[in-house]
Amino acid sequence: MDFPKLETERLILDAPKEADLENIAKILNNEVYSKNTINIPFPYIIDSAKFWLSLSENGFKNENQYIFAIRLKDSQKIIGGI
């Protein structure tokens, strides 16, 4: 089974990829995220992003959790996750 892909006029939700890790680490390496969530560490380093990717891959494989990358449709750039 392929990972689901959802599209809107502006966004794509699809599987996180290893190529996203550096951008995810940059986005989430801000203390505001750790202060307002219970599971985002600060500092958010590349190993944190690797763990997130692992959660996504394992959740999909085990069919018990779906984690989507949120991308801008025009550039395919990751801007978050859900």
Whole-prediction pTM: 0.88
Mean pLDDT of 28-54: 95
User: Cβ distance 80 to 27 under 8 Å?
Assistant: yes
Mean pLDDT of 13-30: 96
Strands (E), the chain: 6-7, 11-14, 69-72, 78-81
- CATH class, 6-81 region: alpha beta
Domain residue limits, the chain: 6-81
**pLDDT band for position 1 (cuts 50, 70, 90):** confident
- Residue 73, pLDDT > 90, answer yes
